[in-house]
Chain A
Amino acid sequence: MNESLQHFIDVLLGTMLDVLPIAAILLGFQVFVLRRALKNPKEILTGFFMVLIGLALFLEGLDLALFPIGELMANQLTAPEFLDAQDAHSIEWHHYFWVYLFAASIGFSTTIAEPSLIAPRSIIALAYDSGGVTTSTVTVPLVTALGLGLSSNVPGRNPLMDGFGLIAFASLFPIITVMGYAQLSEWRSRRPPR
């Protein structure tokens, strides 16, 4: 217990260094450039402490839960016993059927869970933005753990070369689908009502 408390304090100190720059920037610009007093310093200070503690808790939780779950699922879904294959060399791409299904469902459900997701509207710039928005705090650790776990288990793959890249797809595809969605809704609104 003592050890994990010590670890938490280390993480807390680390997050302080992470959050300080943005706080310093906002305060510095507010006071020295805009020359305005803070409207509600008490709330800002409370908010700042909540951000610190929340970030530290979140990072601890990621180490304890999201990363291990992603790796565990990748391990179990690619185990030769589960794939029903005689040995590692006779596995073909279609043996990984459940991996694809798991990837699809986890991608879908983590994006629903996104705190910063903006509802799609028919604007190009917004479509480009939504690619960046879908891949945030909850999606990234899970998907990364999945990619790293898969690339260390699938024969002939190397985590360094193949483990990363899933997030890139997750930011590319929404650009295409949101623009497609805009096209579709425009086409549907132009079609004469029956």
Chain B
Amino acid sequence: MQLFRQLFASLLSSFRDLVPIFVVIAFFQIAVLQQPIPNIGSLLFGSLLVLLGLSLFIEGLNLGLFPLGESMAWNFSRKGSLTWLLLFAFSLGFGTTVAEPALIKIAEEAAQVAAAGGMIDDHAQSMDDYAQGLRYTVALSVGFAIVLGVLRIVKGWPVQYLIIGGYIGVVIMTAFAPKEIIGIAYDSGGVTTSTVTVPLVTALGVGLASSIKGRNPMTDGFGLIAFASLTPMIFVMGYGMLL
């Protein structure tokens, strides 16, 4: 019963959050474009599915995976073994990225565009391979990013030099990467850091910064997500060069 009440509350808050988007779209359709919307039934049904799916997804995470992940992030940051901590950091970054809903969709979309543009063969198998390859490249890079970020917190390196260095890396890679991959690579940085990754990774960072002496959760705890949106750009451009 408690569960249903929570689910309903989450549904309501998802709905309230989606209202601004609906208002913008409705305003443009009615006031600016003044054109009828085709398939309005399926659009509304799809929106309903998005709403319901997102609420179930987030409530499910809150119920099971998030408390587990957060308590583990705390436990690992207190355990004191750097090897296990780094291994856990990598697995957490990799695993959450593979489950990231937005990335699943964008990889599929990118495969379709790449097939239409003649970059890969235009059949289902090669499109699937391309989408999977893209996702696992991004997952690998996020795992690497979280390891780097955890090392930064442990060693107390200042975040901005690493970020600036990373973006210089992005600029250098851009000069060598094929033109078709650059847009996708830049976007994949933003796509990865989403519903699943952000809460778990932030828990790891803040837990770590508050359990190490001399680290302040406010200045040292954040910054992991920034690495996680930087390294995919470099790795995906590398993926494009290999292909």
Judging by beta carbons under 8 Å apart, are B186 and A165 in contact? yes
B 174-202 to A, binary, CB cutoff 8 A, 1 in contact else 0 = 00000110111011011111111011001
A115 to B192, CA, bound (A): 15
Q: Which residue on A lies nearest to B17, using beta carbons?
A: A113
Judging by beta carbons under 8 Å apart, are B33 and A159 in contact? no
B126 in the interface (beta carbon within 8 A): no
Given A56-B53, A113-B18, verify A106-B24 contact (CB < 8 Å). Answer: yes
Judging by beta carbons under 8 Å apart, are B223 and A61 in contact? no
Given A54-B54, A128-B159, verify A148-B113 contact (CB < 8 Å). Answer: yes
Q: Which of A21, A73, A109 contacts B99 (CB 8 A)?
A: A21
A33 to B180, CA, bound (A): 43
Chain A interface, number of residues (Cβ within 8 angstroms) = 91
Judging by beta carbons under 8 Å apart, are A47 and B64 in contact? yes
Chain B interface, number of residues (Cβ within 8 angstroms) = 102
A148 to B191, CA, bound (A): 15
Judging by beta carbons under 8 Å apart, are B43 and A140 in contact? no
A residues in contact with B99, CB < 8 Å: 18-19, 21-22, 55
Q: Is the interface of B mostly helix, strand, loop or mixed?
A: helix
A5 in the interface (beta carbon within 8 A): no
The tally of CB-CB contacts under 8 A between chains A and B is 311
Judging by beta carbons under 8 Å apart, are B194 and A26 in contact? no
Judging by beta carbons under 8 Å apart, are B193 and A102 in contact? no
- Residue among A50, A121, A161 with most chain B CB within 10 A: A50
A residues in contact with B137, CB < 8 Å: none
B 74-103 to A, binary, CB cutoff 8 A, 1 in contact else 0 = 011001000010001001101110110110
B residues in contact with A162, CB < 8 Å: 183
B residues in contact with A18, CB < 8 Å: 98-99, 104
A73 to B25, CA, bound (A): 8
Judging by beta carbons under 8 Å apart, are B98 and A22 in contact? yes
In the assembled complex, how far is the CB of residue A23 from the closest CB belonging to chain B, in whole angstroms? 7
Given A73-B28, A128-B163, verify A43-B63 contact (CB < 8 Å). Answer: yes
Given A61-B51, A102-B24, A109-B21, verify A116-B221 contact (CB < 8 Å). Answer: no
A26 to B94, CA, bound (A): 12
In the assembled complex, how far is the CB of residue A53 from the closest CB belonging to chain B, in whole angstroms? 6
B 15-49 to A, binary, CB cutoff 8 A, 1 in contact else 0 = 00110110111011100110101110011111111
A85 in the interface (beta carbon within 8 A): no
A61 to B95, CA, bound (A): 24
Q: Which of A57-105 contact B (CB under 8 A)?
A: 57-69, 72-73, 76-77, 82, 98, 102, 105
Judging by beta carbons under 8 Å apart, are A137 and B18 in contact? no
B residues in contact with A82, CB < 8 Å: 33
Judging by beta carbons under 8 Å apart, are B98 and A141 in contact? no
